[in-house]
Structure 1
Amino acid sequence: MSLPLIMIATTLVAFTLGGLTMWPSVRRLRNRLTGAIWQLEHDPVTGMLNRAGLLAAHATLTGADTAGPIIVVLIDLDDFKPVNDTHGHEQGDNVLAATGGRIADIAALHGGTAARLSGDEYAALLPVRIPDLARIADTFVALIAQPVELTAHGTRVTVTVTASVGIALAESTDPFEEVALRRADIAMYHAKHCGRNGHVVYEPGMAMPDVRRRRGPRLRDRRLSNEATA
């Protein structure tokens, strides 16, 4: 073999060996990037989408050329604080995860997706497959109210939480947080005012209940207010 051919062969072997050596590092880097992206769009307690992930899901759901109206569901657990106070935050997180799993299952059943927005607040986005919004909301209310079995301090306990659910119809072109989610939020507050453990379907012209009848401004309301005055 001539010297030039030997040099070429040596270079190719060195390149191949170098590539094989680098591949585990590239794979590790890719896995880290994938994990970082997952964390940006998911809630660590429930494994569900977070707010950023829900916004991305909304963009995907409404971005298709054939996109039609969507159903937006806002779910707020009723008086969840006593669960943490009684059983501890770790067990409270277990209840949140179990509840989130039920919400995600219902959303998937309807071809949609679900997210934990913050604290004990969840949301779901569904394509319009059936027009009966009240029936869909009833399913969320009923399944969430099913008991959750926990082991607290070495003892099996049963925890039952209920939820107030607001559900609304929105066009795919409606701004998500300002219109679609806002409608569901208004309906959810009416469900709270009507006694909780129930649902309200948003109707055109429905307004937020009087502030004196509410629990106080939500974290999202305060954030939007701060952004407006900044």
Structure 2
Amino acid sequence: MFITILVAAIIYTAVTLLAGACVGFGVGYLAARPAVAQLRDELADAAWQLAHDPLTGLYNRRGLRTAYAAFAATFPGQPVVAILLDLDGFKEINDDHGHDVGDEVLIEIAERLAHVATTYGGEMARHSGDEFAGIFPVREHGIRQIADALLAAVATSIDVQAATGPAAVALSASIGVAVVDSNDPLEDVALHRADIAMFHAKRGGRNQHVLYTPGMTMPPSEARRGLRLRDLHQQRGVTA
């Protein structure tokens, strides 16, 4: 991610210098400007796509890592609220109404979560499928206030156009919350702890948020809906 963006920046700079050179050699700035502007737009679009989810427009995992690294560089050693949010009942929406409606729901949920992130100075990302991740600075807002706002954003029903006609779908969310140091790794510490807390939220009945506490471990596998991809990877690593 960082190397690719650096390469894009180098190309961008080279294009700009080339435009200046064109003026120096008499090619003419007016003649070169449209081509330079087009290249700049294409590079900006490519950089955006590298960091964002194409469906929802939220950050993808790479984008969230970049945002987290920027926060850590700006506020070293400061507390960060890491959020992992999984939609309850999303599979049923896909099964009942189809994937097009499912995509429509994800887009609407993403817009709502982005609004919460803007309100509380954080960043949200589509982590995978119907799972979202976020990071928030610890400011005057309480951790519970942020989590409650995310729950409320998901809970409001969504009007969709299903094959059988207009329909209103309702969702809830299971949210794991972890407070970490900005110097802690994002995946291995911040989101890992939020993931553990999220599964406790699911095991406790869903439609709630759970705060990670020291010593908290992942619930037994039989308490979950089934093995997820991360569980299969872990099992393969143990047996390999």
TM-score range, shorter chain: 0.7 to 0.9
Q: 1:204 aligns with which of 196, 214, 218?
A: 214
Partner of 1:6: none
Q: TM-score scaled to structure 1, two decimals?
A: 0.87
Partner of 1:70: 80
Map 1:28-177 onto structure 2 (within 5 A).
28-65=38-75, 68-130=78-140, 132-153=142-163, 155-177=165-187
User: How far 1:229 moved relative to its partner?
Assistant: 8.1
How many Å separate the matches in 2 of 1:13 and 1:193?
Answer: 66
Moved more, 14-23 or 90-99: 14-23
Paired letter, 2:166? R
User: How far 1:226 moved relative to its partner?
Assistant: 6.1
> CA-to-partner distance for each residue in 1:41-91, whole Å, 9 max, x for gaps?
000111000000000000011111555110001000012111112222111
Alignment coverage as a number of residue pairs:
219
Unaligned runs of 5+ in 2: 1-21
How many Å separate the matches in 2 of 1:13 and 1:190?
Answer: 64
How many Å separate the matches in 2 of 1:68 and 1:220?
Answer: 29
How many Å separate the matches in 2 of 1:23 and 1:225?
Answer: 56
Q: 1:187 aligns with which of 197, 210, 233?
A: 197
- Secondary structure of the equivalent of 2:226? coil
Does the 8 A contact of 2:23 with 2:29 survive in 1?
Answer: no
Paired letter, 1:213? A
How many Å separate the matches in 2 of 1:60 and 1:223?
Answer: 29
- Secondary structure of the equivalent of 1:36? helix
User: How far 1:218 moved relative to its partner?
Assistant: 2.8
> CA-to-partner distance for each residue in 1:85-111, whole Å, 9 max, x for gaps?
222211111100111111111111111
Between structure 1 and structure 2, the one with the greater Rg is: 1
Unaligned runs of 5+ in 1: 1-11
How many Å separate the matches in 2 of 1:151 and 1:16?
Answer: 58
Paired letter, 2:142? D
User: How far 1:152 moved relative to its partner?
Assistant: 2.0
CA RMSD of aligned residues (A): 2.3
**Structure 1 residues 207 and 66, CA gap change in structure 2 (3 angstroms):** closer
How many Å separate the matches in 1 of 2:75 and 2:198?
Answer: 30
Moved more, 167-176 or 17-26: 17-26
Does the 8 A contact of 2:77 with 2:181 survive in 1?
Answer: no
Moved more, 101-110 or 180-189: 101-110
Does the 8 A contact of 1:133 with 1:201 survive in 2?
Answer: no
- Secondary structure of the equivalent of 2:89? coil
Does the 8 A contact of 2:58 with 2:125 survive in 1?
Answer: yes
Q: 1:24 aligns with which of 34, 44, 60?
A: 34
How many Å separate the matches in 1 of 2:212 and 2:76?
Answer: 24
**Structure 1 residues 101 and 130, CA gap change in structure 2 (3 angstroms):** same
How many Å separate the matches in 1 of 2:231 and 2:37?
Answer: 42
